[in-house]
Chain A
Amino acid sequence: MTVHIEDAPPRVPGPDPSTAGLPPPRPRRPRSARWLPYLLLAPAVLALAAVLGYALVRNLVISFQEFGRRQLISRTTEWTGLDNYRAVLENERFWDAAVRTFVFMAANVLVIMILGTLIGLLLNALGTKMRLLLSISLVAAWAMPVIASTTVFQWLFDQQFGVANWVMRSLGFSGYEQHNWFGSGTSTLAIVTVLIVWASVPFVALNLYAGLTTVSGEIWEAARMDGASDWRVFWSILVPIMRPFFLITTFLEIIWVFKAFTQIYAMNEGGPDRQSETLPVMAYMEGMGQNQYGAAAAISVLTLIILLVAMSFYFWLIFKQEKEES
C-alpha cells in the first residue's frame, strides 16, 4: 500500500508526445551487470565498516579486557575473559537501569505518539492563519539544538532563578519557594520527558499533518454523511491508511528515545544517586566517568543485544510490509 503525499514525487505524464506516434520500441531491459549493485553499495559499506563496524569490533574486544585509565594511557592489553560481563550482570544497578530504560522509553514514546497525533489532527482542523502560527512554533521547537534546549530547560527548572518555580508560586501553590525539580530520579526523568516530548512531538505532528493533507476530502465527507463519529473516522479510516506511517514513526521514536543521552546526562548526570540512569547513561558514566572502559564496553554490548531483541518484532513487522510492497 502506498499513501500519496502532497510533496511526494508526482507522477509524470506518459511518454513524450513527440514519440507518441511511433510504435513503441521494446524497452531496453537495464543491463544490470552483476557487479553494479555491489559497486554502488561499496562506498556506504566501506564507510560503515571502517567507522561503525571497526568501533563495534573494538568495543567487543575491550569488553573482554581490563581496560582502565592505565591501559588507555600506557597502551597495554590485559585480557580478563568474561569478568566484565559477570560483574555487570551481577550488578543490581544494571538491572535497575534496564527496567528504568524501558519504562522511560515506553512512557515517552506513548506520550509523543498520542500528543503528536492529536496535534497533527488539530493542525488539519485549524484555519490557515492559526495553522501557520502553530506550525512555526512547532518548527521552532523542533529546530532547537539539543544542547541549547537542554540548557534552556535546566534554566527553566532552576531551583533559584527558574521560571517553573515562579509559575508555581504565581499560581498559588505553596512549597515552590526553592523547589528542587531534580531532587529525585522520577522527577528528573519527568523533566527529561517534558523536554524530549517537547522536542519530538513536532516531528510526529507535522508529518502526520503532511500525510493527512493527501487523504482526499471526499473520504471525510462520505464518512460524515454516514454519520460516523470522529472516533470512528479516526480508527476505521485514518489509522488503516496511515498504518505504515505510524509503524515507521514509532520505530524511529523508540530508537531515538532509547538512545537519548544528552538530555538525561546533561540534565542531572543520571542523578541524584544514579536514580535517573538509563542504560546508555550508565555505560557512559562507567566509561568516561569512572574510566572503566572495559566494563562500559560490556554494558554497551549487553545494551545492544537487549535493544536488538526488543526490536526484533519491529524488524519483522517492517520486513513484512516490505514484502507486501515489493
Chain B
Amino acid sequence: MKRKLIAAVGVTALTAALAACGDDGSGGDGGDADSITVWLMDGSAPEPWVDELTAAFEEEHDVQVNVEIQQWDGIQDRLTTALSEDGTVDVLELGNTQTVGYANTGGLADLSDLADEPWSENMLASAEVDGTLYAVPWYGANRVVIYDQSVWADAGAEVPTTRDEWVEALELIDENTEAQPIYLPGQSYYVMGGFVADEGGAFAVEDGEEWAGSLATPEGEAGMEFYRTLQSFSEAPADIDEAEPQQSVDIVPNQEIGSWIGLGWEAAGAIAAIEEAGGEADFGYFPVPGKTADQLGNVFLGGSNLAVSERAGNPDLAMEFLRLATSQEYAQKFVDANGDGVVPNRTDVTAEPEPGSFAEAMVASADVGFLPPLTTGWANVETEPNPIKELMTKALNGDDYQTAAEEADAEITTRINRE
C-alpha cells in the first residue's frame, strides 16, 4: 500500500509537470451531467438515422450526445478496458455472441426496466442471463447466397432448393463458364456451423455444469464434409476467412465470381464497388438450401445488441437514450434506413422486402437462424486464434478430421468454460 502511494505521488508529480503539454483529461466526456457517449461499430448504423436520433434526443433532454464510431481493429481490448472505466462510455453496441460474456463480468447495467417491450423472441436469448436483461436487441442479420445472374444463365444453372441441386448448379457453372462457381474461403465458420446445425449438431453442447466442444461427432464431420464439397468449387485459400481479404469489396468486384455467401452490407458494398469501377452488378439472392426442399439450411443469426455500461457517467440518460433508439418509431426507421435489409428487433416493426431483393432471401431463412452456445465463455472461443477456423483449415488441407476435431474440441472446452 505504501509503495503504491509513493509511486502514485511520483507519477502525479511528474504529470503535473507535464500538464503544459496537453489537454489533460478533456476526454472521456461521459462524466459530464449534460452529455452521454455512445459507441457504435464502424458500418453498423446508417448516418442519417444516427443524426436524426441524436438530434431528437438532444432536443428532448437538452444534452449532448457524442456518438463515437469504433474501428474493429483492437475493439475487444478497448471494450473490455472501457467497461472498467468510470464514465468512458454510456451506451455501447455489442455483438450478439459477445453480450452474455460481458454481462457476466459485471460491466453491463441491468436493463430490466426495458424487459416488457415486444422484443423479437429469437434475439432476446443473446441479451439475457438467468432471466435478467443486460442488453436489448438492436438488429439481426443472416447470410444468403448471392449469385451472378448472368453467369448462372450462361451456365444454364437454376436456383436450387436443396443441397444436391446447389451442387449440380455449381458443377454446371464449372463446366460451362470461366467463372469461379462459388467464392468460399476456408474459414467461414458460421457458414460451416449452419451445415453442422442442419445435421442436428452444434459447436458445443452442455455437459452437466460445463460445456464441451462437440465437433468430433458424426454431425460435425458431416457438416464439414458438405463445406468441403462446396469449397472444392472455390479457388479461395483454405486458411483465410471472408473478412480478410474482404470478399465483398476486394474479391467479388475484381474477379469473376459465380456466387458467394454474404450479409446485406456485403452485398451492398460489392454493388457499390462494381458500380464505382464502371460495371453493373447483376445479383440474385437465394436462402442457403437445406438437405430437403421443405427445409431451408440453418444460418447463423448474427446481429448486435445495445447495452449500458455499469460505470456509465450518466446511467439514467443512457437508459433513456437506449429506450428511444430501440423504440418502435426509431426501430422502424432503422429498418427502413437499411432498405429492409436487417431482421427487426421488435415484433411491432416490419420489414417488407421487395421481391428478388437480398432482404427477401434473408427474411426467408431468419426462422432457421441458429445462435452459437450463449455462454459466458463463448466469446473466448471466437477470439483469434479461433480453434474452429483452425480445424476447418486442417480438414480442407486433408488432415484427419477426427484428430483435428478432437484437438479443436479440447480447446473449445477449455475456453468456453472460462469466464
Contacts and interface: CB of A to CB of B under 8 A. Distances in A.
Interface of B is mostly: helix
A50 B101 CA distance: 34
A273 B390 contact: yes
Contacts of A50: 7, 10-11, 14
Interface stretch (B77-85, B334-342, B350-358): B77-85
A70 B419 contact: yes
A285 B245 CA distance: 22
Given A160-B250, A285-B384, 6 more contacts: A69-B105, A72-B105, A74-B106, A159-B240, A272-B239, A274-B385
7 contacts: A47-B14, A49-B10, A53-B7, A68-B418, A68-B419, A70-B106, A72-B80
Contacts of A182: 239
A291 interface: yes
A68 B380 CA distance: 11
Contact of B384 (A54, A72, A158, A269): A269
A54 B7 contact: yes
Contacts of B76: 288-289, 291
Contacts of A285: 384-385
Nearest to A53: B7
Contacts of B380: 290-291
B383 interface: yes
A321 interface: no
Contacts of A288: 76-77
Contact of B11 (A51, A68, A178): A51
A72 B81 contact: yes
Interface residues of B, number: 34
A160 to B, nearest CB: 7
B385 A183 contact: no
B84 A75 contact: yes
A73 interface: yes
Nearest first, the 3 A-B pairs at minimum CB distance are A74-B106, A50-B10, A73-B107
A70 B101 CA distance: 9
Interface string B227-243: 00000000101011000
B400 to A, nearest CB: 15
A160 B249 CA distance: 14
A69 B3 contact: no
Contact of B245 (A160, A180, A269): A160
A205 B138 CA distance: 58
A46 interface: yes
Contact of A69 (B10, B394, B419): B419
Contact of A269 (B84, B107, B385): B385
A289 B7 contact: no
Given A69-B101, A70-B105, A271-B385, A178 B7 contact: no
A71 to B, nearest CB: 8
Contact of A180 (B10, B237, B419): B237
A36 to B, nearest CB: 21
Interface string A250-288: 000000000000000000011111100000000001001
A47 B13 CA distance: 10
Contacts of A178: 235, 237
Interface of A: 46-47, 49-51, 53-54, 57, 68-70, 72-75, 158-160, 178, 180, 182-183, 269-274, 285, 288-292
Interface of B: 3, 7, 10-11, 14, 76-77, 80-81, 83-84, 101-102, 104-107, 235, 237, 239-240, 245, 250-251, 380, 383-385, 390, 393-394, 415, 418-419
A272 B237 contact: no
Nearest to B101: A69
B292 to A, nearest CB: 36
B418 A289 contact: no
Contacts of B415: 290
Contact of A46 (B3, B14, B77, B81): B14
B390 A74 contact: no
A74 B105 CA distance: 7
B80 A73 contact: yes
A285 B239 CA distance: 19
B291 to A, nearest CB: 31
B124 to A, nearest CB: 23
Contact of A74 (B107, B235, B393): B107
A72 B106 CA distance: 10
Contacts of B250: 160
B153 to A, nearest CB: 27
A271 B384 contact: yes
A72 B250 CA distance: 38
A182 B187 CA distance: 15
A159 B106 CA distance: 43
A289 B10 contact: no
Contact of B390 (A75, A158, A159, A272): A272
A273 B10 contact: no
Nearest to A46: B10
Q: Which of B77, B104, B384, B394 has the most CB of A within 10 A?
A: B384
A72 B7 CA distance: 21
A72 B84 contact: yes
A300 to B, nearest CB: 16
Contacts of B106: 70, 73-74
Contacts of A69: 80, 101-102, 105, 419
Contact of A289 (B102, B240, B384): B384
Contacts of A46: 10, 14
B84 to A, nearest CB: 4
Contact of B383 (A183, A271, A289): A289
B110 to A, nearest CB: 14
A245 to B, nearest CB: 35
Nearest to B309: A73
A273 B385 contact: yes
A273 B395 CA distance: 13
A285 B77 CA distance: 11
Contacts of A183: 239
